[in-house]
Every structure is written in structure tokens, then in C-alpha cells.
């Protein structure tokens, strides 16, 4: 349809090998671009340094998830099995649920039965951390996403086989029709194409 409006997404350039891609990334980094990425079928060792990427913040999220899991397990078990909260004077916590603090297997009903709660605390820490890892990752990288302008490029499908690409996006302040293309050509890029997004 000729009436479709198109917006330039960016320039896509293909490279022959990991080594070429690595050196191209160094050049794009040094040229001062920010809105760009390299696409490869597998993670490339050292590429973060070549691109100047910072370290992922994901571990902080996962730490919070893990602490939440430990806390949930501690509260779940102490509220339902012990008189711990009551002994602190927080009877309203104890009144949340009916409790039957019973001595089982000679384990007491106060806080000193805590070691018996460690396995569940450990397991919930791992469980919450793992789910935080998955959903935190998806949130950070902005997936799932059904479509993307890059998928419009026929060549780009090679990224999941043996293609190595650099894409510099048009929203980068340094982006220019000629300068960006020239940079990618100088870096050894082939089949440089302007990727457009239908709007």
C-alpha cells in the first residue's frame, strides 16, 4: 500500500565473522553511538567490553526476590507453627490464622524450633530467586515482544543461524543518513540496508 507511512528504524549491516563483528563494534562504540546493538546467534565473549555495555543489574533484583522468599517462608512457618509472634506481643499476627502449636517430634513450639524451618526457607529462597531471574530478565530486555522492525529485513533472519549484524538505530542523536552508512562501510559491513518500520 503506497499510503503506508514508514519510519526509518536504522541501518543494518552484515559481517562475515565474529572477529569482524567484534572490531566493528569497537569502532561504533568509539564513534560515540548509544542506540545500537550487535546481533549474533550466540553470546560473544568480550562483546560487552567491545560495545561498552555496563554490567547487568539483574543480580540485585534476584537478591531482593531471594530475600522475599526467605521472609515468606519464615513468616508462613512461624505464624502457623509457633507462638513466636505472640511472645513478641504481636498477637494480631498470630490471630491471622488458627494455630495449633503442637510439639511434634520433640520439636518445641517457640522460636527455637527454627532449624526445622530451614529446609523450607531455603527452598522458597531458591524458588523466588529463580522466578525473579526469569521475569526480571524479561522485564529488563523488554521481551516478550511479538514484532520488531528488524524482522522486516529478509537478511536479518540469518541472525539465528550464522549471521552477524550491527544495527544502528535512527533515534540515536549521532545518526545520519550518510555518516552512519559510511561508518558501517568503513567497519567492513556488507549488504547495508535501511530498515523501515511501518506506522
Partner 1 sequence: MDATATAAPQTPRILDREPLVLNNRSYSWITNRICGIVENKQPALWWILFIPSVLLTGLMVFCFAYLISTGVGVWGQKQPVAWAWDITNFVFWIGIGHAGTLISAILFLTRQKWRTSVNRAAEAMTIFAVMCAGLFPAFHVGRVWMVWFLAPIPNANAIWQNFKSPLLWDVFAVSTYFSVSLVFWFLGLVPDLATLRDRCRPGLKKFLYGLFALGWRGGNRHWSHYETAYMLLAALSTPLVLSVHSVVSFDFATSVVPGWHTTIFPPYFVAGAIFGGFAMVLTLMIPCRRIYGLDDLITPKHIDNMAKIILLTGTIVGYAYCMELFVAYYSANPYEADAFTLRGITGPSTWAYYFMFGFNVFAPQLFWYRPWRHNMWVVMFVCMCVNAGMWFERYVIIATTLERHMVPGSWGVYSATWVDKYTFLGTFGFFMMLFLLFLRFLPVIAIGEVKGVLPQSNPHHDDHAEKGVQEEDLMNYPDRHVAKPAAAVA
Query: Which residues in the 74-93 window bind partner 1 by CB under 8 A?
Result: 76-77, 80-81
What string of DSSP letters covers 145-185? -S--GGGG-TGGGGGGTT-EEEEEETTSTT--TTHHHHHHH
Question: Applying CB under 8 A, which of residues 12, 13, 62, 184 lies at the interface with partner 1?
Answer: 62
* 99 in contact with partner 1 (CB under 8 A): yes
- The CB-of-52 to partner 1 minimum distance in angstroms stands at 4
Phi, psi of 104 (to 5 degrees): -115, 140
Region 18-47 residues binding partner 1, contact defined as CB under 8 A? 18-19, 21-22, 25, 29-32, 37-47
Q: State the DSSP code for 1.
A: -
Any alpha helices (H) in 9-152, and if so which ranges? Answer: 18-30, 47-51, 58-81, 84-87, 91-94, 118-141
The helix (H) or strand (E) run that includes residue 4 is none
Binder among 67, 88, 90, 126 for partner 1 (CB under 8 A): 126
Residue closer to partner 1 by CB (options 3, 155) is 155
Of 8 and 18, CB closest to partner 1: 18
Output the smallest distance, CB 45 to partner 1, in A.
Answer: 6
Contact in structure between 10 and 170 (CB atoms under 8 Å): yes
Interface of this chain with partner 1, residues 131 to 170, rule: CB under 8 A: 131, 133-134, 136-138, 140-141, 143-148, 150-151, 156-162, 167
Q: Is 98 in the site for partner 1 (CB under 8 A)?
A: yes
Is residue 64 a contact residue for partner 1 (CB under 8 A)?
A: no
Task: Note whether 17 binds partner 1 by CB under 8 A.
Answer: yes
One of 9, 12, 94, 124 touching partner 1 (CB under 8 A): 124
Distance CA 162, CA 96 (A): 58
Nearer to partner 1, 2 or 64 (CB): 64
**Strand 190-198 with 6-15, pairing:** antiparallel
Q: Is residue 68 close enough to count as binding partner 1 by CB under 8 A?
A: no
- The single residue listed with the C-alpha cell 526467605 is 70
- The minimum distance between CB 82 and partner 1, in angstroms, equals 10
Angstrom distance (rounded) from CA 168 to CA 37:
7
Amino acid at each position: 500500500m503506497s499510503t503506508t507511512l514508514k519510519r526509518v528504524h536504522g541501518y543494518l549491516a552484515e559481517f562475515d565473522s565474529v572477529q569482524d563483528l567484534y572490531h566493528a563494534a569497537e569502532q561504533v562504540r568509539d564513534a560515540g553511538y548509544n542506540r545500537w546493538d550487535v546481533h549474533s546467534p550466540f553470546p560473544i565473549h568480550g562483546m560487552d567490553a567491545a560495545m561498552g555495555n555496563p554490567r547487568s543489574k539483574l543480580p540485585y533484583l534476584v537478591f531482593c526476590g531471594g530475600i522475599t522468599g526467605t521472609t515468606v517462608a519464615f513468616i508462613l512457618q512461624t505464624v502457623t507453627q509457633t507462638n513466636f509472634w505472640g511472645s513478641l506481643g504481636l498477637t494480631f499476627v498470630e490471630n491471622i490464622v488458627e494455630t495449633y502449636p503442637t510439639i511434634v517430634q520433640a520439636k518445641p513450639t517457640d522460636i527455637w524450633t527454627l532449624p526445622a524451618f530451614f529446609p523450607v526457607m531455603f527452598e522458597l529462597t531458591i524458588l523466588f530467586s529463580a522466578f525473579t531471574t526469569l521475569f526480571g530478565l524479561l522485564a529488563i530486555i523488554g521481551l516478550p515482544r511479538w514484532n520488531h522492525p528488524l524482522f522486516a529485513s529478509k537478511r536479518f533472519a540469518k541472525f539465528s543461524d550464522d549471521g552477524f549484524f550491527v544495527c544502528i538505530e535512527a533515534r540515536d542523536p549521532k545518526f545520519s543518513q550518510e555518516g552512519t552508512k559510511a561508518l558501517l562501510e568503513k567497519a567492513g559491513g556488507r549488504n547495508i540496508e535501511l530498515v523501515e518500520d511501518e506506522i
